[in-house]
């Protein structure tokens, strides 16, 4: 199953250093039956994109914590790691596309890495500070999150991740 792991820049550094990434709480996102049912239309690719988008929103939540503790070395960029794993458990207690994985994600299973470009950093920083309020229905906060989500994540092949981290 293709999963989308919400991540941050430090998690990407760990992936390069150790060859694995450890999803926070084992949480990732995927095209689950529940996510498929929540859309009235859409082909496989569009629904996979919806799972990727849920992971990108979760990345904002992770950034909110890292940036909130004054982490100066964390770029304000959403990171989503796409990987193919078999041992995936559905999480109906969370978002429609939420799944739980057991253990770490080995580098060999990674299909792609999606990351914000430099020009998204201001919007992502603002959105990270507002994502909780947006989840609670604050319209101004929803606007800020929407501004970040208007930025498309760039796609990187796994072979490019070390160079990406080095340049980042």
Per-residue pLDDT reduced to its tens digit, 56-68:
999 999 998 887 6
The three-state DSSP-derived secondary structure of 67-104 is: HHCCCCCCCCCCEEEEEECCCEEECCCCCCCEEEECCC
pTM: 0.92
Structure confidence at residue 120 (pLDDT): 95
Q: Is the pLDDT of residue 90 over 90?
A: no
Q: Average pLDDT for residues 13-20, to the nearest whole number?
A: 94
Residue recorded with tokens 């989308």: 4
Q: What percentage of the chain reaches a pLDDT higher than 90?
A: 66
More confident of the two residues 144 and 45: 144
Structure confidence at residue 73 (pLDDT): 67
Q: Average pLDDT for residues 104-120, to the nearest whole number?
A: 95
More confident of the two residues 38 and 99: 99
| Residue 59 near residue 80 (C-beta atoms within 8 A) | yes
Q: Average pLDDT for residues 35-53, to the nearest whole number?
A: 82
Structure confidence at residue 141 (pLDDT): 94
Q: Is the pLDDT of residue 71 over 70?
A: no
Structure confidence at residue 12 (pLDDT): 93
Residues 6+ apart with CB under 8 A from 71: 10
The tens digit of pLDDT for each residue in 130-162 reads 999 998 999 999 999 999 999 999 999 999 999
Q: Is the pLDDT of residue 93 over 80?
A: no
């Amino acid at each position: 199953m293709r999963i989308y792991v919400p991540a941050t820049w430090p998690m990407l550094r760990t992936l390069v250093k150790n060859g694995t990434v450890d999803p926070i709480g084992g949480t990732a996102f995927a095209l689950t039956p529940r996510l498929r049912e929540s859309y009235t239309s859409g082909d496989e690719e569009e629904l996979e994109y919806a799972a990727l988008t849920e992971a990108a929103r979760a990345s904002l939540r992770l950034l909110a914590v890292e940036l909130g503790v004054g982490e100066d070395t964390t770029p304000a960029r959403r990171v989503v790691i796409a990987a193919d794993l078999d041992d995936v458990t559905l999480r109906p207690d969370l978002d429609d596309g939420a799944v739980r994985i057991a253990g770490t994600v080995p580098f060999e299973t990674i299909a792609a890495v999606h990351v914000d470009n430099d020009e998204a950093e201001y919007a992502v920083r603002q959105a990270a500070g507002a994502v909780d309020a947006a989840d609670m229905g604050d319209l101004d906060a929803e606007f800020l999150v929407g501004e970040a989500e208007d930025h498309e994540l760039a796609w990187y092949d796994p072979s490019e991740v070390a160079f990406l981290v080095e340049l980042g």
